[in-house]
Amino acid sequence: MTDYLVKAMAYDANVRAFAVTAKDTVYEALNRHGLNPVAAIALGRGLMAAAILNGMGKGDDIVTTLQINGDGPMEGMVCVADRKGTLKGYIKNNDYESYGENGIFGVGACIGRGYLNIIKDLGMKEPYAGTIPLQSGEIGDDLAYYFTYSEQIPSMVALGVKLNSDATVRQAAGVIIQMMPGATEEIITEVESRITEMKSATSLIERVKTPEAMLEFILGKENIVFTGTEPVSYQCNCSEEKMFKGVISLGRKELTEIVEEQDTVETVCHFCNNKYIFTAEQLKKFIKDI
Ligand SMILES: [Zn+2]
């Protein structure tokens, strides 16, 4: 597995930075869900955003969920990251014909207008949740807006997925640079000009190869201190037990109707597309117990 996230501080801890490479992870997501090209790019951006957001948190049990709800044909997505570096996610609707106006691959056009929700579950009583209206639906812009207005941390976000013509993933990379309160105008201007120079996250990683080198390009080798590395991979933690709980949550009345009509009940995990089949016998036994 070649995917990972790096964390760094720069300019005497006045700038916080994160970069991720996630080519294999995005390819796994694309394959598992049979995504169309725009949906693959969109979900790839969402997964990298979730990985970085979770990497920002403290504690071993933190789980970060990024949800997008939009009125476009893709309808949005759900992406989840945990501390073990596992990522999972799904596009709400992958079954649509149009890729946006004039067939142009536009993530924003396919997501439409709506909201971005970030939920950080620290394993305590109440998870932290923040919501902002989508700015462009391109995810990077929306996340930058989220940091600036919801967390009051001015941030620059670049998330990119580039596909090959055979629908494999050529590059998937993301960068988030955050200005801490001590960051001077001079630092901000310098970093902004390097960001403009990098063009896009995918073109930068294509040139410099690693997430570390991406951050060195943006922040300057002499200014940066790397503070950690975390692996990233696409994995689902669904199980027969969890999926059975999902089925029985339908309630006694509905379950009784189902077992009268069907011999088996099939349920599919949204995140990995694995199928779980339960027999009417298994369900009947359970209904008797409630
Ligand atoms: Zn699953």
Domain ranges of the chain: 4-234, 240-289
Q: How far is the CA of 231 from the centre of ligand 1 (A)?
A: 20
Residue 100 has pLDDT above 70, yes or no: no
pTM: 0.92
Q: What integer pLDDT is reported at residue 223 of this predicted model?
A: 96
Between the alpha carbon of residue 2 and those of residues 46, 166, 238, the distances in Å are: 19, 21, 24
Cα angle value 167/274/121 (rounded, 5°): 95
Residue 39 has pLDDT above 60, yes or no: yes
Q: How far is the CA of 211 from the centre of ligand 1 (A)?
A: 28
Average pLDDT over residues 116-141: 93
Domain 240-289 has CATH 2.160.20.10: no
How far apart are the C-alpha atoms of 77 and 49, rounded to whole Å?
12
Q: How far is the CA of 120 from the centre of ligand 1 (A)?
A: 20
Q: Do strands 15-21 and 4-10 pair parallel, antiparallel, or not at all (unpaired)?
A: antiparallel
Name the pLDDT band for 122 (thresholds 50, 70, 90).
Answer: confident
Q: What integer pLDDT is reported at residue 99 of this predicted model?
A: 56
Residue 84 has pLDDT above 90, yes or no: no
- The predicted-structure confidence for 89-99, as pLDDT tens digits, reads as follows 999 998 877 55
| Sign of the Cα pseudo-torsion (274, 24, 48, 38, in order) | negative
Q: Do strands 114-121 and 63-70 pair parallel, antiparallel, or not at all (unpaired)?
A: antiparallel
Q: How far is the CA of 273 from the centre of ligand 1 (A)?
A: 6
Mean pLDDT (the chain, rounded): 92
Q: What integer pLDDT is reported at residue 290 of this predicted model?
A: 62
- The C-alpha torsion from 205 through 208 and 210 to 216, rounded to 10°, is -110
- The predicted-structure confidence for 42-62, as pLDDT tens digits, reads as follows 999 999 999 999 999 888 889
**Is 4-234's fold the same as 240-289's?**
no
Q: What integer pLDDT is reported at residue 250 of this predicted model?
A: 84
Domain 4-234 has CATH 3.55.30.10: yes
**What's the gap between Cα 76 and its chain centre?**
12
